[in-house]
Structure 1
Amino acid sequence: MSTDGFKGATLTQHTLASLARIIAALLTAIVTGVLTGLAIALSPRARGIIEPLLEFYRPIPPVAYLPLVIIWFGIGEFAKVLVIYLGILPSIVIATVDGLRTIAPDRINAARSLGADRWQLIALVLLPHALPSILTGIRIGLGTGWATLVAAEFMATTRGLGFMIKGASDFLVTDVVVLGILIIAVIAFALELSLRVIQRVLVPWQGRD
């Protein structure tokens, strides 16, 4: 697998293709998810518009609308990243909103009394308080992202761990299937440990009043 490869690509190429897709989707989901969560928490109008839409599509498995995404956006990388992104996004939005709603009003009032404007309040009070919840949402969303990635790579792709597993299963090549599963597990475990380290570094106050 590392030299001859499988289905026209080496193991490294399959792995890097999957990593690129999930990282692109994750980073995009973090940015838009946090901004969307802020909008929901701070604006009643935004909450009235966004929350019903989010609650409507959140329970739908990404695999269910994968064919529609391919029909509308083609079979390129954008469609695959979009499906993964849509699978990750709800966890981050919900975690951001929950984190912002638990902040004590006294802290907000104290910051305002010290002269903090709206943007300083968001950057120095609201986001740091919500950061533990956001990181937890990222960890949950990442699990959904991996499941969606494998499903997305089953269709209309030529590289990726999901494509490798699907191609091997079609020809009953059990060792390649097991190898693909193990690689996904190892990468997911490594990313989970990395997020835990980031969480300890960025929010050392977590669990303390």
Structure 2
Amino acid sequence: MLEGVNRARAVKPGKIYGAPGEGSSGLISLATALVLLALWVLVTEMNWVRPLFLPSPFTVWETFLTAITEGASNSTLLEHILASLARVFCAFFLALITAVPIGILMGVNRVVRGLFDPIIEFYRPLPPLAYLPLIIIWLGIDEFPKVFLIYLAIFAPLAIAARAGVRSVSTEQVHAAYAMGATRSQVITHVILKAALPEIFTGMRIGIGVGWTTLVAAEMVAAHRGLGFMVLNAAEYLASETVIMGIIVIGVFAFTFDLMIRYLEKMLIPWKGKV
């Protein structure tokens, strides 16, 4: 009898305690967002904070609708969004096609690592505003310097992630590929690159986040439209409702594209966390 009960209760070892962090946190995140929104409404409706410093969410919503229809900072919200999306995604695409190959080569070739590692490690901790004046002096104030500034911010985490992904490849996998007659290029493309994909996608998520963070700094360079420009322009006139509305729009887009990268990662790397 007891033996039958024990057999019925027997489960896989991983199911007894559960993996660290296992389970969905969606409901908790939703509840957190609702609580913060309720606190925002409470604080503003009770006039605990002056509207200049924290406008109510209803005022921000009205500003959002006005920006869509009538515009803000000499352009409609859609025009600001399209300008910023073009800059961020152009920079992200350029970083993706350059940083990933360089990062992989840094992991497999000591000469490439010696060439790029000191450059990347030197400028990576620097805030974009530190080298923004130099970019203006070198490249002017056209559209390219804005994209280039965002590109530099995205390049470093992507290259470092690709290099770390190469380091995560086991020696046994490489030796097994060579034993089956694979060439060096085949080992890089079919073994090393595939094993490095989880780290590369992590670098993509970090990179796109850093890109949106750098957007405001990039649009300080003689921009005429863009979400960052809209926020900066509104700040000059103490239009805090427009500033908060712009921050929320930037955050929504950044979070949306992070979710898209997570989805692609789940579809393209189904084995992540299982091997």
TM above 0.5, yes or no, is yes
Q: CA deviation at 1:122?
A: 1.7
Q: CA deviation at 1:182?
A: 0.8
Residue type of the partner of 1:145?
G
User: Is 2:241 the counterpart of 1:175?
Assistant: yes
Tell me the residue number matched to 1:29: 95
In 2: Cα distance, 1:71 partner to 1:181 partner: 29
User: Is 2:75 the counterpart of 1:9?
Assistant: yes
Q: How many percent of aligned residue pairs carry the same amino acid?
A: 46
- Counterpart secondary structure, 2:238: coil
User: Is 2:261 the counterpart of 1:195?
Assistant: yes
In 1: Cα distance, 2:118 partner to 2:228 partner: 32
Residue type of the partner of 2:165?
G
1:122-178, CA deviations, whole angstroms, 9 ceiling, x for partnerless residues? 221111100000010111122211111111112310010010011111111222111
Structure 1 runs of 4+ off > 6 angstroms? none
Bigger shift: 107-116 or 157-166? 107-116
- Aligned-residue CA RMSD (Å): 1.1
The residue correspondences of 1:121-136 to structure 2 (distance < 5 A) are 121-136=187-202
In 1: Cα distance, 2:231 partner to 2:89 partner: 20
Contact kept, 8 Å, 2:146 with 2:221, in 1: the verdict is no
**TM-score of the two chains, using structure 1 as the length reference:** 0.96
Q: CA deviation at 1:102?
A: 1.3
- Counterpart secondary structure, 2:71: coil
Structure 2 unaligned blocks of 5 or more: 1-66
Tell me the residue number matched to 2:230: 164
Tell me the residue number matched to 1:82: 148
Alignment partner of 2:129 out of 48, 51, 63: 63
Residue type of the partner of 1:15?
I
- Counterpart secondary structure, 2:69: coil
- Counterpart secondary structure, 1:162: helix
In 2: Cα distance, 1:63 partner to 1:143 partner: 17
Tell me the residue number matched to 1:41: 107
Contact kept, 8 Å, 2:99 with 2:156, in 1: the verdict is yes
User: Is 2:177 the counterpart of 1:111?
Assistant: yes
1:47-92, CA deviations, whole angstroms, 9 ceiling, x for partnerless residues? 1111111111111111110111111111111100100010111111
User: Is 2:212 the counterpart of 1:146?
Assistant: yes
1:181-208, CA deviations, whole angstroms, 9 ceiling, x for partnerless residues? 1100110110111111011011100012
Q: CA deviation at 1:3?
A: 2.1
How many residue pairs get aligned? The number is 209
Bigger shift: 134-143 or 117-126? 117-126
In 1: Cα distance, 2:94 partner to 2:180 partner: 34
In 1: Cα distance, 2:147 partner to 2:226 partner: 12
Q: Which of structures 1 and 2 has the bigger CA Rg?
A: 2
- Counterpart secondary structure, 2:68: coil
Tell me the residue number matched to 2:86: 20
